[in-house]
Structure 1
Amino acid sequence: MDDSKQKDSLIRGERTRFGRGENVSLHKLPSAQAHEPMIVRASTHRSFTRHCFRFLTFFGLIAGGLLLLVYYVIESGSLDRFLADKANEQIAAAMPEGYHARIETARLRLSGDLDLNLSVRGVTLLGPEEKQIASIGTMDFAVDPVKLIGGQVTVNSVSVDDIAVDSSALPSTGTFRLTEHRVDSLPVLVEQMFTQTDFARGILTAADTRSIYLSDIVFPVGSASPGKSVNVDIREINLNLLADGILRVDGEVLLDGTAAAFSAESVEQDGRTQSLQAEVSNLLLTPFLLRTKEDGEPMLGLEGTADLVLSLERARVDGEPAVAAQIDVGAGRFIADSIARPFNDANLNLIYDTAKKSIEISDSSFEFDGSRFPFTAGIIDLDRYQPDATDGYALDVLVRGGRFKSREPGLPPLIFDAKFTGEYRASIPRLLLDDISISSPQGMMAASFKAVFGDASPELSFGARIERMDTEAVKQLWPFWIARKPREWVSRNLHGGVVTNGDIAIYLSAGRIEGPGIPVQLDETEMKVAFDIDDTRITLSDQMPDVERSDARVSINGGRVDVEIRDGSLSVAKSRTVKLAEGTFAIADTYSKPLTGVVDIMLAGEVRDLVKLAEAPPINALKSTEFTSDQFSGSTEVNLRASFPLDRDVAFDPVWHVVADVTDGAIATPINGHQVSGLDGLVEIVPSRISYEGSGSADGIPLDVQWSMPLGRPEERPEGEEDASVLWLSGNLDDAQRNQLAPGLDDYVSGPVSITVEGGDEGNMIAVDLQQTTLSLPFIGWQKPSGVPATLSFTLTPGENGVTTLNDLHLTGSGLGARGQVTLDKEGLLAATLTDVAISPGDSVNVGMQRGKSGLDVTLTGRSFSAKPLLGQLVKSGNGGSIGGGGSSGGNVDVHFDIARVSGENDRQLSGVNGDIKVRAGKMADATLNATTASSQPMALAVAPDGDRQSVSLKTSGAGALLRFLGIYQKMTGGSLNLDMIETDAGWQGMATLTDFRLIKDEQLKKILTDPTVGNGKSLNAAYKNQINETDQRFQRAQAVIDISNGVLRVSDAFVRGDQVGATIKGVVRDAAGNIDMTGTFMPAYGLNRIFAEIPIFGPLLGNGNDKGLFGITFRLTGKTEKPELIVNPLSAIAPGVFRKIFEFQ
């Protein structure tokens, strides 16, 4: 065999077989081959001792074998399944119906100290529907084997590990409610505790069990938050029955990761427990006293740990037990409505007063949020005070020397006493505190409270009355979790003063508190708080000055806060205040986000102070403007209405409205270039605009004023609102006032004007009522007299270096019109461009003006122009010496005109009118005018210097048409006119010569010819046998000396020579009043009649001078020049020659 097979053949316990060839005789073995073999011989004699020894040895071997067999059976686990099956059978038989238990394994082993250790693992208790009630990981029992052999079962110790209990699967056995027990039944409950302790002690003693160890016991219990539970993890429990009869329990429990240690110790005397002491340290109260929201955020309750000490002394025979407890709650937090306040310490000392049959709480206190409340209390059965009561407790709590921390920096705490008395009835169930009184040096409050409990949240009601109490005391006494938002406003915004006539009423119906995460927002039917407050300081907004020394009425209805402010003042600067006459402040809903306040107050004071208030946050009325409060003066009354956020971390643009009634106000900064003062009217300010309406002065001119200016950025303004500033002024101005408002118009406007100015960013839009104003165009000598309706509008835009532009100029009126642009500077007219200029209906003239270094250049062009007003003005004035007339500049003007058609009197026209006019130092230097008359005859007018005088020359072959155009005479046709005039100190003088013209249908001529004479009653024409044409006369020549002086037009040495008649004329054609006074001699048969005047020597006598005939009629023209009255002297017709002079008019 190989090595592996040899090794395998030597394995112990394997049978070996030998073949025939392998058998060897003993004498052949190596030991038999020795030279001196050893012979062993056995003794044949045996003693009794040896036999006994052998028997004992045999018996010991048998017993040891049995013990080894037992040990083997135990340690090998041969009994484990048998024990498990038997245990399951016994447990199944012992379990009540519907419940059963099972054991996964049972194991019996010997421990190190030779005790039998029975270990049961995987114990599960199942309830109906196979729902697991509890599970135990391991149960170990240490049994004394010696006593077991003697027939006594002694369990030295019990160890249980990994216990899990599902309390929800346990059958309901009812809830222990402390409120269902009377106070005077406490001794009975204490005795029951001692009895149960005696019972436990008896079991342990009977079983001779000295210790029980439990560990890792986990079971859930309900928490303060509905629907949530917390696992109680008992890490270990050691129960030891000590030799001196003391039963002691020690252990550790884990709640939400916080370990609490507990211990209890009972002392016996004569087999009866006499005292019990229990202590619990660092017990976490949070899961049981703190309600949380669904997301775990704390909502209501206490967060912290507590230490508990309980001391019980068993009643002696015919005696009473002694019960005392001490609870110390360490630092933590009290949370209400998700607001946390630090909870420093609480100490409660409770004892059972056997004489009063009451629970007394003495020398107790708690410190909360910097305040301390020492108190005593008593709880007693209600029927001891009210014999007819069937259940319930009477409550009495007394606070002495309580201290509330002040919420205002620097103020001392509130020292107070309080008393709470009432009852609790479990049958209703209801808590009633019908007598709550709080007193302090700062005032008193009386109140009552009731809570009715049910399946839903309790019905709560609270009422209080405050006759008089300091405001700070009210703020300190108001619990922070009741009406939190209104309370926050009162605490933060009312400072100092005294609260009087205060009423508080709070009511919450059953079920009103809906649960975690659902805030309780009281409406106006659930909370009503109202009180007067005197001499207080009110904070309307953190960004506004406080209302100081104010009296107000505060009303809180649900989430709404209303403050009716009766008076007060606001400080806006050092030693400067504004008076608050009245007003309101309101928070529509303190529960809404963002929290918004609405203020409506009446203020009075200096304008600058109120503007300073308005320019500060949250209003920022002057934001994006160049104004500051120091630029305003005057006095005012202001209504301020504003809506703004109250939360510091919320930002939105406030909505506000300011209306100020200003008296004698002024603004230092010019508005649209004008200094504004003397304001008496209303100022309105909104976030997008500031405006004023009233009276005032612009640059010292009294006006009615309307002004507005945009505020803020354009994108922040309401849709459709204008972005430009607007200034509207109206008033009646004299020349000086008008010149301040719109300088440079003196040459064109004079007299009173009614003006309206609408200012804006693009300039001042000015509308002028010119009915009582004289409007002038000095370069053409035209004027609109006062009384003629006319309006002028333009946009006045101030520029740099004193330049002012009149844009969009529109002139309208009775026959008046113009539009265009005019530019003015400090010296007057700089430039103008006017179109559609009309001073009469039908005019269409364009005017261009530009001032240069040498003067003003004027260009007149157009289709048509009516010269009738100009002609009437020239005729009335009778003075053409100052073409620039009326102007203050006295400068140089160059006028060029070219007008297609010029209309005169009676719609007569000149066409192709063109020429130039030069004015120097305000007087016409020279001028030329060329035109074509209506009879298509040329006309030329020239004005030229003649030494230091002016001369005028007029030549035309259409004299009749020209006279009709000028409105001088309408019955002439044809004729050539030469007019030469020279300037005098008083006006003009010269001679006019007219040739070859005809008079047609002249009524005055006809009257002279047809009126009867005195002699025979015949007319002059009848005397000549009607040979004189009454309707058409031709004349060869006419001539007159003309004098225009001081507005009076005179003619002298005037004569008219015709084919049939002639005349001599002299007198005033037109005076300053528009009257005529002319005399003359009419000579019929002029050719024959004049011959007598030509006779030498006798001619002057027969003809009465040159151009006078032998026969003639004297006449006179009087009245108005436009419609003169003809007077004929009939006697002159029969007085020949020189004798006719007797009958001439003087």
Structure 2
Amino acid sequence: MTQIEPKNKVGVKDRFKLLLSRFAKSESDSHTPVSTNWIKRVFNRTKRIFAEVVSVVLTVSLILLSSLTFLMNRENVDLAFFKPHYEQWFSDAFDGRSTNIEKYSARWLEDRRAAEITAENINIIGEDEAQQTIDLVKGEFVFFDGFRERPSLQALTIDGGALTLLRTHEKVIKLGLGTPQTFEKVAPLWTSGADREKNTGGGKLLQSLKTITVKNATIFVIGEMNTVDWELTNIDGQFAFDGQFLSIESTGDISTPEENAPFNVSVRTSVDRSEFDGQLEIEKIKPLHVAPKSGPYTIIGNLDALVDLKASVSFVAGQVDDLEIHFAAGTGKLKTGKTFKPFDEAQINAAYNAESQNVQITKALIRSLALNLDAVGELTNIGNPRIGFGAAPVSYKIALGKSRLNPGIKFDGPFAIDSGEIQGQIDLKNKTFVFDQLDLDFGDFQTNMSAKLVAMDNPIFKSIIANGTIDGQMVPEDVLLFWPNKFALGARNWIERSIKSADLKNFEFVVAIDESDIRSGQVANDHLNLQFDVENADVQYMTRMPWLRDASGRGVLQGNRADFFLSTGNVDELIVEKGSVSIPRLSPKGGDFTIELNGEGAAAEMLRITNNPPFEFANRFEINPADIGGQGKVVLKVTRPLLEFFDQNRILYEIVGNFTNVSLPVGVGDFKLNNGQLELQADRNRISIKGPINVGKWPTNLDWAKPLGEDSGAANFTLRGNIGRDDLDSFGIGLRRHFGGTIGVRLSGAGDGVNVQKVRLFADLFDSELNVGTIWNKQMGEPGSLAGIVETSPDSGIEIDELVLKSQGLDLIGAISIGNDLKLESLDFSTAKIDGFIDAAIQAKPTSDGALSMFLTGNFLNVEPWVDQAFRTQTSAVTAPMRLTASIKELSLGESYQLANASAVFSHDGSVTQQARLKGDTENGALIAEISRDANSQNRSVHVEIPDAGRALLTLVSIDSIEGGNLVIDGNLPPVGANGGVTGTVTLTDFKLVRAPAFAQILSLASLTGLADTLGGSGLAFTKLESKFGLENGVLKVRDTHASGPALGLTIDGDVGISAKTMDMNGVLVPSYTANSLLGDIPLLGDIVVGKKGEGMFALNYSIKGPFASTQVTVNPLSALTPGFLRRIFDVKRDDIKDDTVKDLIEEQKQEN
């Protein structure tokens, strides 16, 4: 029965046009906001294309052909009447394109008042002769109100043919009959967007269509934007629409390079999408073969394994009523990074729980080399078909089991998770991922954090916000596990290479990374803050230095900067109190970083530790670290590139240290530097040491510096200090009698390391008192200075050159060489001037037997002090072995006794004089004094010749009672090494006795007043005086002394205490000696009448006793009448001079006389 469709009822065609226009509008109208996200659009477009476009367009052309066949087979129908309809249908379907139908037939279905028209082998010819063939088209047309009204197409069956669906780069959708190569030329049926007015008229005929059956069809789906190229073959399906609900039942194969993947689709949905029910099954499909080649969904292609998928979903009143998904993947490969890795299996099972209104993920299992995942969870607020799935944020909650992720070559991986709890929201519309809880248990450590990620249209994130903590304990390998291999490579390599072990804990982090951070690859320092504690760290802070061990502190990562603040640690025996590692730029690589360590320990240990490149201080300065004493605190700062291979000149370092009680194996002789309080500063260009330090016990202040480098030159130093008598005593220099106050000493110079080879000496004598006995002295406050160049050598000792000592009345210029034992090796003064003492050049050096050999050449030398000491104390001023050779133009023996053109030779063994010779000119002749030694007997003899004996005696022994005369002394000294005094004989000729108070008193007592007056006037003349003497222990013994002159003769015997200044003398006065002694020459009679030699017939005995200042003089007047032989009765008995040589000499003299 014919049915008339009400005019106010919306037809199928109009519904389809409405749906199609909505779809097109959503693509073309940029001013209308998209109500759903990309997931909803994919779902809706797929449904519309399949339900609204494919069936409609495939049938349009066949309707026309079927109608034509039907009309031609009706015997009672006027073909002319139907011909306009046929042409119109053809025109509407193909826009004027032609078609060839090989075979067609028709039959009438009376019960449905419908005609069934069948066409076979339909060949559609389009532009450029492009063709498309359809095997079979069968249409059922229902006629209403007779045949004059256009028939209504109710059902359509299609067998074979092809349809192409294309989405262009410009997001324009095109639909047409044919393959991708021909569809636009054969039968372009529909275009979205701006080109929709080009759509064919065939769609106008579809408003009455109820069902479409498709058999053995092929559908091509092409996407230019994401490079999709799908071919769906063997399509069998049925489309049905009853006015309110649209249903689709379809099976087919998805064509792949290996095997076709069968699928089954069942969909039933209301027109307003308030109700929806759908099922999908796909078997044995490899996502690798169907994934887009570009765009965000290329990730699907990372799985190269056969997948089975079963999914069903239903909505009622816009709410999810049922959802179930079963995903299973078999053995294959999974791509991570740029390579595929073995893949074992994957399973995902999810179902909707109506009671809790969420999706329960009952199983999410993945087993592969790249990823192992074991999880369950739930999704809530997943959306509805009206507004689209995921239009609102979807909440999730996931519980992870034991899982593992291998992130590929960008990380060291894999990441192994024991368990985890993750929950948050996914806002697909705004591309936002929120982690309210991200708790992952990695075994030794656990994360406790929240985060928010905002994505852009491409995979790059727009922002990342996170904060939280990491509990437990990490090690450096864990950190490197999560550190991208190519990010901040220098810092990463340094951690991997230099941190042997460490315990990392108490992580706290705040992240606020924005789009600029992500695009530049460098995070702003205030957009990332990660802090953590470090314990038990072993760090190789410099390649060839000892490791920093047991270090503790706190690390801070701020964006593109990293810092580590050390609180404790040690480098061997050096205690590290604090320190830091600062990396101001992590990326790009190659930037510098700085290591700073504050250490405390023994100076020897510090020197040993730094005796490694690049420092090598001990080797540079040739010091054994074990020889260094003291304690110190040091700050070491090293700056170097964050690279493994680089120019070593880029290493910069600074060392600042303070040391106490420092001792160094250098100094002056055996007196080393000690008790130092020194400050050290060093970098790659210079090292300096300064501060107070003692040389032996002498406190000084050291300032030492050395340039560093290949051509750095020698070290420069200054040693300053005030030296006093106690300091000199500590050096073993006994000058206390000659020195008072202090001398400001400055030693400066240069040398290799601490072994300084050359020193410039300067001493300010202003605040000192100096004297050279009675020879010279300087009072405090008077200017004076000592300067010179001191050069040291391990082999030759100390050389002092350019020595200049100047003060008032003092001028010394020369050089001194001192051995390592501080003993003199040589002395050479070109100028030695001391007012009133010397003006000469002096050379001196020790001999092989230990004596000091001296040479004096010059204008003047005053030896009066030594002469006075020799005659006053009978001791020598020389106490050390000495040999002297001198040539002096003027030699002063006393205030009024000088020798011109004097020469002297002197040899002393430290105890006695072995040899001496002095010769010089006086106004009255040459003076000769000589001590010689017999090489065989070791006996020593003395010979002295003195012209003008009066002046000599006055000068030498302060005897002023002799004028003129020539003195000759011959005597002997004890053999070398033997004790004893000087013995000998004295001969004095042609002299006068004057100003002799004691002798004048004798003459007065003897009533020889005339002679006494002569003595007090012009003096008594004597022709000759002879005596033998002995001088020992300060006592002069005079024996057998007799003197004779024209007016008086005398004899003398006695002792004189030179040191005690006493005398005990006695003798005989012989007036008129010449006449009185004539009988003495007669043998036998002379002895009886005259007595011994020097006496006369008439003579007086006398004696002198007592101190020099108060002597007692006595004269015996009776002795004048006593014969000579009886005069002996009054003589004093005295001991002989104990010297055989002298006795023999005396005897020889007697025989000569």
TM over 0.5: yes
Q: Is the 8 A contact 2:1062 2:1105 kept in 1?
A: no
Counterpart amino acid of 1:938? Answer: A
Provide the C-alpha distance between the structure 2 equivalents of 1:1095 and 1:812, rounded to a whole number of angstroms.
Answer: 70
Equivalenced residues, count = 870
Tell me which of 1050, 1057, 1078 is aligned to 2:1063.
1078
Which residue in the other structure is 2:870 paired with?
874
Which residue in the other structure is 1:843 paired with?
838
Unaligned runs of 5+ in 2: 1-26, 63-93, 95-160, 173-178, 190-211, 242-246, 250-264, 267-279, 385-389, 735-742, 766-771, 1081-1086, 1135-1153
Provide the C-alpha distance between the structure 1 equivalents of 2:489 and 2:499, rounded to a whole number of angstroms.
Answer: 15
Q: CA deviation at 1:1127?
A: 0.5
Which residue in the other structure is 1:1121 paired with?
none
User: What is the SS of the residue equivalent to 1:520?
Assistant: coil
Provide the C-alpha distance between the structure 2 equivalents of 1:306 and 1:924, rounded to a whole number of angstroms.
Answer: 116
| Pairing of 1:1102-1141 with structure 2 (within 5 A) | 1114=1104, 1116-1118=1106-1108, 1126-1129=1109-1112
Counterpart amino acid of 1:244? Answer: V
Which residue in the other structure is 1:1044 paired with?
1031
Which residue in the other structure is 1:519 paired with?
522
Residue 801 (structure 2) pairs with residue 808 (structure 1): yes
Which residue in the other structure is 2:240 paired with?
270
Tell me which of 982, 988, 998 is aligned to 2:982.
988
Residue 984 (structure 2) pairs with residue 958 (structure 1): no
Q: Is the 8 A contact 1:1114 1:1143 kept in 2?
A: no
Which residue in the other structure is 2:381 paired with?
381
Q: Is the 8 A contact 1:824 1:831 kept in 2?
A: no
Provide the C-alpha distance between the structure 1 equivalents of 2:575 and 2:820, rounded to a whole number of angstroms.
Answer: 49
Q: CA deviation at 1:369?
A: 10
User: What is the SS of the residue equivalent to 1:1043?
Assistant: strand
Which residue in the other structure is 2:541 paired with?
540
Provide the C-alpha distance between the structure 1 equivalents of 2:786 and 2:1098, rounded to a whole number of angstroms.
Answer: 56
Provide the C-alpha distance between the structure 2 equivalents of 1:714 and 1:1050, rounded to a whole number of angstroms.
Answer: 79
Tell me which of 929, 934, 950 is aligned to 1:941.
929
Q: Are the structure 2 counterparts of residues 175 and 326 from structure 1 closer, same or farther at C-alpha, using a change threshold of 3 Å? A: farther
Q: Are the structure 2 counterparts of residues 332 and 1042 from structure 1 closer, same or farther at C-alpha, using a change threshold of 3 Å? A: farther
Tell me which of 868, 877, 880 is aligned to 1:886.
880
What are the superposed Cα offsets for residues 787-829 of structure 1, whole Å, 9 maximum, x if unpaired? x9999998575577xx667453859699795733548799998
Which residue in the other structure is 1:396 paired with?
397
Deviates more, 1:727-736 or 1:277-286: 727-736
Provide the C-alpha distance between the structure 2 equivalents of 1:1048 and 1:369, rounded to a whole number of angstroms.
Answer: 120
Provide the C-alpha distance between the structure 1 equivalents of 2:1047 and 2:230, rounded to a whole number of angstroms.
Answer: 160
Residue 865 (structure 2) pairs with residue 861 (structure 1): no
Residue 595 (structure 2) pairs with residue 598 (structure 1): yes
Provide the C-alpha distance between the structure 1 equivalents of 2:300 and 2:1000, rounded to a whole number of angstroms.
Answer: 136
Counterpart amino acid of 2:220? Answer: D
Provide the C-alpha distance between the structure 1 equivalents of 2:762 and 2:865, rounded to a whole number of angstroms.
Answer: 22
What are the superposed Cα offsets for residues 212-238 of structure 1, whole Å, 9 maximum, x if unpaired? 6699966699xxxxxxxxxxxx99797
Which residue in the other structure is 1:722 paired with?
715
Which residue in the other structure is 1:200 paired with?
53
Counterpart amino acid of 1:871? Answer: V
Q: Is the 8 A contact 2:228 2:293 kept in 1?
A: no
Counterpart amino acid of 1:1076? Answer: K
Which residue in the other structure is 1:86 paired with?
none
Residue 650 (structure 2) pairs with residue 657 (structure 1): no
User: What is the SS of the residue equivalent to 1:206?
Assistant: helix
User: What is the SS of the residue equivalent to 1:195?
Assistant: helix
Q: Is the 8 A contact 1:879 1:987 kept in 2?
A: no
Which residue in the other structure is 2:149 paired with?
none
User: What is the SS of the residue equivalent to 1:615?
Assistant: coil
| Pairing of 1:473-622 with structure 2 (within 5 A) | 475=479, 480=484, 498-508=503-513, 513=516, 516-517=519-520, 519-523=522-526, 526-556=527-557, 561=562, 563=564, 565=566, 578=573, 580=575, 582-587=577-582, 589-591=584-586, 593-602=590-599, 613-617=609-613, 619-622=615-618
Q: Are the structure 2 counterparts of residues 817 and 270 from structure 1 closer, same or farther at C-alpha, using a change threshold of 3 Å? A: same
Residue 902 (structure 2) pairs with residue 913 (structure 1): yes
Q: Are the structure 2 counterparts of residues 321 and 805 from structure 1 closer, same or farther at C-alpha, using a change threshold of 3 Å? A: closer
Q: Is the 8 A contact 1:236 1:252 kept in 2?
A: no
Provide the C-alpha distance between the structure 2 equivalents of 1:594 and 1:484, rounded to a whole number of angstroms.
Answer: 11
Q: Is the 8 A contact 2:963 2:991 kept in 1?
A: yes
Which residue in the other structure is 2:887 paired with?
898
Q: Are the structure 2 counterparts of residues 1101 and 470 from structure 1 closer, same or farther at C-alpha, using a change threshold of 3 Å? A: same
Q: CA deviation at 1:924?
A: 6.2
Q: Is the 8 A contact 2:861 2:891 kept in 1?
A: yes
Computed over aligned residues only, the root mean square deviation of the Cα atoms, in angstroms, reads 7.2
User: What is the SS of the residue equivalent to 1:421?
Assistant: strand
User: What is the SS of the residue equivalent to 1:270?
Assistant: strand
Q: Is the 8 A contact 2:445 2:472 kept in 1?
A: yes
Q: Are the structure 2 counterparts of residues 1116 and 363 from structure 1 closer, same or farther at C-alpha, using a change threshold of 3 Å? A: same
Q: Are the structure 2 counterparts of residues 677 and 314 from structure 1 closer, same or farther at C-alpha, using a change threshold of 3 Å? A: closer
Provide the C-alpha distance between the structure 1 equivalents of 2:1113 and 2:350, rounded to a whole number of angstroms.
Answer: 155
Counterpart amino acid of 2:48? Answer: T
Q: Are the structure 2 counterparts of residues 727 and 259 from structure 1 closer, same or farther at C-alpha, using a change threshold of 3 Å? A: farther
Q: CA deviation at 1:899?
A: 1.4
Q: CA deviation at 1:600?
A: 1.5
Q: CA deviation at 1:912?
A: 0.7
Provide the C-alpha distance between the structure 1 equivalents of 2:423 and 2:366, rounded to a whole number of angstroms.
Answer: 19
Provide the C-alpha distance between the structure 2 equivalents of 1:649 and 1:591, rounded to a whole number of angstroms.
Answer: 17
Q: Is the 8 A contact 1:1093 1:1102 kept in 2?
A: no
Counterpart amino acid of 2:1110? Answer: I
Q: Are the structure 2 counterparts of residues 799 and 437 from structure 1 closer, same or farther at C-alpha, using a change threshold of 3 Å? A: closer
Q: Is the 8 A contact 2:1048 2:1072 kept in 1?
A: no
Which residue in the other structure is 2:419 paired with?
417
Residue 466 (structure 2) pairs with residue 462 (structure 1): yes
Provide the C-alpha distance between the structure 2 equivalents of 1:401 and 1:309, rounded to a whole number of angstroms.
Answer: 25
Q: Are the structure 2 counterparts of residues 1062 and 835 from structure 1 closer, same or farther at C-alpha, using a change threshold of 3 Å? A: farther
Counterpart amino acid of 2:214? Answer: D
TM-score (norm 2): 0.57
What are the superposed Cα offsets for residues 720-747 of structure 1, whole Å, 9 maximum, x if unpaired? 86279999999999999999xx9xx9xx
Identity of aligned residues (%): 12
Unaligned runs of 5+ in 1: 1-168, 222-233, 291-300, 335-339, 571-576, 746-753, 772-776, 888-892, 1119-1125
Provide the C-alpha distance between the structure 1 equivalents of 2:367 and 2:921, rounded to a whole number of angstroms.
Answer: 117
Provide the C-alpha distance between the structure 1 equivalents of 2:822 and 2:667, rounded to a whole number of angstroms.
Answer: 24
User: What is the SS of the residue equivalent to 2:584?
Assistant: coil
Higher relative contact order (CA 8 A, sep 6+): 2
User: What is the SS of the residue equivalent to 1:929?
Assistant: strand
Provide the C-alpha distance between the structure 2 equivalents of 1:565 and 1:1027, rounded to a whole number of angstroms.
Answer: 109
Q: CA deviation at 1:974?
A: 3.9
Tell me which of 203, 208, 214 is aligned to 1:244.
214
Q: CA deviation at 1:192?
A: 5.8
Counterpart amino acid of 1:715? Answer: E
Which residue in the other structure is 1:14 paired with?
none
Q: Are the structure 2 counterparts of residues 304 and 944 from structure 1 closer, same or farther at C-alpha, using a change threshold of 3 Å? A: farther
Q: Are the structure 2 counterparts of residues 460 and 421 from structure 1 closer, same or farther at C-alpha, using a change threshold of 3 Å? A: same
Q: Is the 8 A contact 1:805 1:824 kept in 2?
A: yes
